[in-house]
Structure 1
Amino acid sequence: MNTIKQLEWRYATKKFDANKTLSKAKLEILTQAFNLTATSFGLQTIKLVVIEDKEIREPLVKASYNQKQVLDASHLLVICIQDNVVDADVNSYYDNIKETRKTPDDILKPFREDLIKMMATKSVQERQQWSTNQAYISLGNLMTVCAIEGIDACPMEGFVPAKFDEILKLEEKGLKSVLLLPVGYRAEDDMFSEFKKVRKPIEEAVITL
């Protein structure tokens, strides 16, 4: 498969075919890709909420400024951050390293302690912003994987996170919604799918030293 060709094929889908649904295999590729996304220190303070049920999605349309992609797409992916990063998160991460790689405690201890100290220097708001940065990395990764897999997607910042959090009861899970990615298949009459991409010449976008 030609990666560049697929990235040229990709666009922010304005109208999804509401009758087409992603297969379980395709959906699993997306969830696995999310879990494999690079995050700072590998700490993974982000989570993905996958919503297929249209009854759950229907009240989210209004909280998305009436963008119908939220409802018409096969699935709605909601990228969330933890509302805080605490010592237990760091300890759980290093315990996982110990279990997975059989790394001795004496090797992990200084890294564990340094990360706990670093997080302690940040306010809750700074920790949330730090996690939000990771969320954007995951969004970019998911969009690329969608393109390669022939899945249409529409990245969205235009929604009311507090309303999403309320409707989806995310606060109960210690989460905050930050980004949306409806995924599925474009409608045949979405005229935007035929538009040529508008980009700067590569010589303007890339500086080679």
Structure 2
Amino acid sequence: MTPEQKIELQNTIDRVKTGGCSSVESHSVIFEECINFIKPKNILEIGFFCGNSSLMMLELSKKYNSKLTSVDPFLDNVTNDYLNSVGHPEEIGGDSVQLAAVESVRANYGNRFKFIHKRSLAASIDGDLNEKYDLMFCDGDHWRPGIDIDIQIALALKIPYILFDDFNKEFDGVRQAFAQVQNRFAALKLYTKEHDGSDCLFVANLDVIKIQ
């Protein structure tokens, strides 16, 4: 992305009033590269949080008219403890803040955006994940049991590509969960986010994609 494109994307974030840990500096280039590689029709995001990642992926996939489904149960105690720990107390407010971000994204992107207010497992069991998804952005539960579930959802839905956020020692559950099924995936690229040195791992599902 050019510096001008990054400024434009940040201006959109400011106008729509989303927030969260994903930032233009940390994620925009990663999202752009993965989206341009896949040219997705449908993206599944696990973990809306305060909406920045949803907005960036919707903006960066406009030329493909991609749709995005985001799943998040909004667990206030977990969210608020985390916002305190990373120095963002101004975003504390639990469901009220996060649901306001959902409505703002929905108002700006219309039927390109769908939000499911549930845990990913419940959404899967209830039949809410009913599109043919081309990409999963996995950034919800960062502990081993939750990541195990999200990976199994991706495999069951035959999603060809997954982008794992926070693939690093701070959230070792992400790496541990992936290690158990890595023979079913091909690692395409390990990204290091510029702002904090943490990683994102982009993989292909070998049950769907044949890597030469």
Question: What TM-score range do you get, normalising by the shorter chain?
Answer: under 0.3
Q: Higher RCO, 1 or 2 (CA under 8 Å, sep at least 6)?
A: 1
Bigger Rg, structure 1 or 2:
1
| TM-score of the two chains, using structure 1 as the length reference | 0.25
TM-score by length of 2: 0.24
